[in-house]
Amino acid sequence: MKKKRKLSGALWWGGALVIGLSIGIYALITNETEEKQEQIFITHIHGMGYKSDGTELMLAAHDGIKVYTAGEWRSGEGDRHDYMGFNVVDDGFYSSGHPSLTSALANPLGIVRSTDDGKSLGILDLHGVEDFHGLAVGYESHAVYAYNPKANDRMESAGLYVSTDDARTWRFSRLEGIEGNLLAMTAHPSLEEQVAISTNKGIYVSSDYGDSFTRLDNRPGATALAYGIDGELWIGSDGLYLLNQGEIVSVKTPPLASDESILYIARNPQNRNNIAITSERNNIFRTGDGGENWELIADEGDSVGKLE
């Protein structure tokens, strides 16, 4: 009888060991599956910027917000909307675009704003009416510049409009002095009246809410424009350039293909040497030393770094 009890105990512990191993293996498989589900592939980038504390780089992709922080990529908060005209500001972001398939929001989004990293969206204007690809918002001023493709109930014609009261009212901009088709647009971080626009004919800057523009120089239009937190203008095309105090200087750029251009530029408000760029092939680079050295953090959309 004593021997049977020992055998029974051995069988019980053996069973426990098998169950424990099974649970462990299941957990590993589950974790592996969950990690595969979180493998981040970035497509259709429509805006990028750093949060005010400088810890996170946020960008809008075809399937929601992607966040890069401490060398890792993760999916952002909230529904995975197809954001367009995505602008990170000091207390959140502004955007347009299309809602996710699981969202009850109307399509298109119009102009929306979030102050909780996308967990919730505040509807500002033209919800269900318009999708603004050309959207620029001042990082501190929150002046909203929207390029409207066609007339609607709030904007009587196509063209550039500006709002300084969170889209409650709109002012038409005359766009005098500009030629060509819109390629990129950026709003000054603190001066609500200043906006820069690039077309296929050149780069133009306005200091009167977009009524009149001055062309910078003879260079052709750029594919990317971004004001830094200090008010300097960053320019992207086949390389990276900086306009500061009236002079355009070249910045050391990571290797790009001969037919590859820069599409978005972001400068960290807490670390002036920390800059990120994206290319039309969904290559994403960052530098921590003002451009002397660049790190590839997404390789044609495949995120590089530890994934969550």
Give the residue-averaged pLDDT of 141-170: 97
Give strand pairing partners of 82.
Answer: 98
pLDDT band at 305 (very low <50, low <70, confident <90, very high): low
Radius of gyration (Cα) for the chain, nearest Å?
24
Sequence-distant (6+) residues with CB within 8 A of 295 are 285, 286, 287, 288
pLDDT digits (tens, 9 = 90+) for 169-193: 999 999 999 999 999 999 999 999 9
C-alpha dihedral (3, 7, 9, 14), degrees to nearest 10: 160
pLDDT band at 218 (very low <50, low <70, confident <90, very high): confident
Q: Answer yes or no: pTM beyond 0.95.
A: no
Query: Can you list the pairs that 63-67 forms with residues at least 24 positions away whose Cβ atoms lie under 8 Å?
Result: 63/100, 64/100, 64/118, 65/117, 65/118, 66/40, 66/42, 66/303
Question: Is the distance from CB of 25 to CB of 244 less than 8 angstroms?
Answer: no
Question: Is the distance from CB of 210 to CB of 175 less than 8 angstroms?
Answer: yes
Taking the CA atoms of 297, 289, 293 and 258 in sequence, report the sign of the dihedral they define.
Answer: positive
Question: Is the distance from CB of 296 to CB of 286 less than 8 angstroms?
Answer: no
